[in-house]
A and B are shown apart, each in its own frame.
Chain A
Amino acid sequence: MRTESPPLRPADVRVTSVMPERLRAPGVLLGFAAIVMAAGAGLLIGPAGIDKTAAIMELLDRLPFISVDSGLSEIQKNIIWEVRMPRVVLGSLVGATLAVSGASYQAVFRNPLADPYLLGAAAGAGLGATIAIVTGSGDGVGTFDLVPLLAFLGALIAVALTYSLGYSAGAQRSPAALLLAGVAVASFLTAIQTFIQQQNVDTIRQVYSWILGRLNTASWDEVSLLAPYALASTILILVYRRTLDVMRLGDVEASSVGIRPQLVRLVVICAASLGTAAAVAVSGLIAFVGLIVPHTVRLLVGASNRIVLPLSILFGAAFLVMVDLLGRSLASPAEIPLGVITAFCGAPFFVVVLRSSKKALG
């Protein structure tokens, strides 16, 4: 076999038996159906009490070649197109980005409990947002809202800090050093954030509300802020889906079949962190999405990243739109912060995953 391949057989031999796990129609269709249902509910349900049939007509009216009169007032139309729609779109972008980032972190660290926030992204974003809020640039008075920008930068700086710290502590040999560096960076940044917050008690409510995660300020501005990063990071991660399956062999064996595990880890961490930072910047800290969604997909359809990554995008989007709907309906007209709901479902889930992966963790 060294120079020539063995004689090949006719193409009709049952080669399908060796094909790798791949995306199948039912999973994808189910994913899209979930998004459509969640988005539909998100667009039709709300405190403004818009008639649902009329709202459906209004939505249909925007489709090409269809023209129907919904009979809604301009204000009601505005609520659908400028309040509910951007909120649903932003929710699905945030959910998809957090879920696919989580799946890719779990792949490069070969750790089922790795999460986009693990390398300090959350703490960095929290610090950035807190600085923006206490310095008064976050109250929306100015022409430019600094909260998302500083949260974004904070998340990226934190991950960069973790990365350089981890590698100076020997992460080439063991990725665990990187995770430990993440813990150190996160607690350090959280300490600074808490200090600043305590010095400025007047804004504590605002900071707190940001940290708990929310989509209630969603507008098309935020969608356009997140979309390019979410798209770039997701595409880059998807391109690496087979390589991430090779990474499951561990660094030594992955390297023996011809890939550079450290380089793959760096590229995927950068992509996932960029997406996470952008998502956190517009939505605050929404925990556990990156754990719940990929693990559910893994349990239901298999562990290959060729399946887990694309399906995490679809179900992540649907999941966060649903959670947002719960958050604004359960205690309507008040809103329950998203981070509270995801953590409420996520923490028990975390335990289930931990118990079922006991063997894998050794």
Chain B
Amino acid sequence: MNLCVAKEVSVRVGEISILDNISVSIEAGEWVSVVGPNGAGKTTLLSVMAGLRTASGSISIDGRDLEKLNPRERARLLAYVPQHPEIPPGMKVSSYVLLGRTPHLPFLGMEGPEDFRLVEQVLEQFDLATLGQRTLESLSGGELQRCHLARVIAQSTPIIFLDEPTTALDLGHQQQALDRIRRLREEHQVTVVMTMHDLTLASQYSDRIILMSEGRIAAEGSPAEVLESHRLSDLYGAHLKVLNIDDHLVVIPIVGYEEL
């Protein structure tokens, strides 16, 4: 079943076309990575699909037109983490994760015992239980990343959009974050759409890859279908080679390698 369908989405800023007539559909339970060079429109596509940026065309989630939903209804269907989330000064970890419950509370209402219990479990899942009373700015990059993920999981939506969730992390934390997202998907059947720069990681974890270039979809399909040496080298303007190591696709830049 298609959980999220974007039809003929275009975004223009003045004369410049950021997204050019893009149509995408995401199946329930799928993990989709949106990749492409800088300026390809990945982040814009993600924020349009998350209903946070206006665009021509239509987007529906769970069969409901995103434009006709009010922000609260929308926030119960989808959650979103930007590339650089705000770190409110002085805010405690548990309070931050509790903000994810906002769309489930009555208008101007406060959290109840069920919200506290749910958030407590989410904190435990993310190994944040002991950090609950710490302030966000006292955390390391990896811990902060877990807080952002914990907040969107506390939001309890069928689909989450993550804009470059591994950007600020070292190799080990990148892998841990993605492993965690994979476990969450299994436990909560949550659908994940994320943008990525690292093509190797994207191919390891996602079911499907959407390769973008200059506001259009250049290729779309399983990692093996999309990640192809010539196509990537052309698009990225680089010398890249896709290797298959023990059935894992690896994208590597080749120095001075002229005969690609």
Interface residues of A, Cβ cutoff 8 Å to B: 1-3, 5-6, 8-9, 11, 13-15, 17-21, 239-240, 242-243, 245-246, 248-250, 252-253, 255-260, 298, 302-304, 357, 359-360
Contacts and interface: CB of A to CB of B under 8 A. Distances in A.
Contacts of B37: none
B120 to A, nearest CB: 5
B91 A1 contact: no
A132 to B, nearest CB: 38
Interface stretch (B77-85, B173-181, B202-210): B77-85
Interface stretch (B14-22, B155-163, B212-220): B155-163
B13 interface: no
B32 interface: no
Given A2-B188, A13-B120, A239-B108, A257 B100 contact: yes
Contacts of B50: 256
Contact of B120 (A15, A242, A357): A15
Contacts of A260: 71
Interface in B32-85: 47, 50, 52, 71-76, 79-80, 82, 85
B211 interface: no
B118 A304 contact: no
B52 A259 contact: no
Interface in B145-174: 153, 155-158
A320 B131 CA distance: 39
Given A249-B86, A303-B88, A303-B89, 16 more contacts: A2-B157, A14-B120, A17-B94, A17-B129, A18-B97, A18-B123, A246-B99, A256-B50, A257-B102, A258-B75, A258-B76, A260-B71, A303-B91, A304-B95, A359-B89, A359-B137
B133 A1 contact: no
Contacts of A248: 86, 88, 91
B89 A15 contact: no
Interface residues of B, number: 54
Given A20-B95, A20-B98, A256-B52, A242 B108 contact: yes
Nearest to B104: A258
A110 B156 CA distance: 27
Contacts of A13: 117, 120
B71 to A, nearest CB: 5
Contacts of A360: 89
Contacts of A3: 158
B189 interface: yes
A259 B71 contact: yes
Contacts of A11: 113
A2 B85 contact: no
Nearest to B133: A17
Contacts, number: 118
B27 interface: no
A20 B88 CA distance: 14
Contacts of B108: 239-240, 242-243
B90 A1 contact: no
B119 interface: yes
B116 interface: yes
Contacts of B229: none
A258 B113 contact: no
A257 B155 contact: yes
Nearest first, the 3 A-B pairs at minimum CB distance are A258-B75, A303-B90, A258-B103
A1 B153 contact: yes
A184 B80 CA distance: 36
Interface of B: 47, 50, 52, 71-76, 79-80, 82, 85-86, 88-92, 94-95, 97-100, 102-103, 105, 108-111, 113-114, 116-121, 123, 129, 132-133, 137, 153, 155-158, 187-190
B118 A6 contact: yes
B188 A1 contact: yes
A279 B105 CA distance: 34
Contacts of B73: 258
A300 to B, nearest CB: 12
Contact of A2 (B116, B117, B137, B158): B158
A1 B86 CA distance: 25
A1 B190 contact: yes
Contacts of B188: 1-2
B119 A18 contact: yes
Contacts of B116: 15, 18-19
A5 B114 CA distance: 9
Contacts of A298: 90
A316 to B, nearest CB: 20
A357 B88 CA distance: 12
Given A1-B153, A8-B117, A249 B88 contact: yes
A242 B98 CA distance: 11
Given A15-B113, A21-B95, A248-B91, A253 B71 contact: no
Given A5-B114, A17-B129, A246-B102, A252 B155 contact: no
A253 B82 contact: yes
Contact of B94 (A9, A19, A359): A19
Nearest to A19: B116
B88 A21 contact: no
B136 to A, nearest CB: 10
Q: Counting chain B CB atoms within 10 Å of each CB, which of A5, A17, A20, A252 scores highest?
A: A20
Nearest to B156: A1
Contacts of A240: 108
Contacts of A257: 75, 79, 99-100, 102-103, 155
A2 B102 contact: no
Contacts of B132: 17-18
B256 to A, nearest CB: 41
Contacts of B98: 18, 20
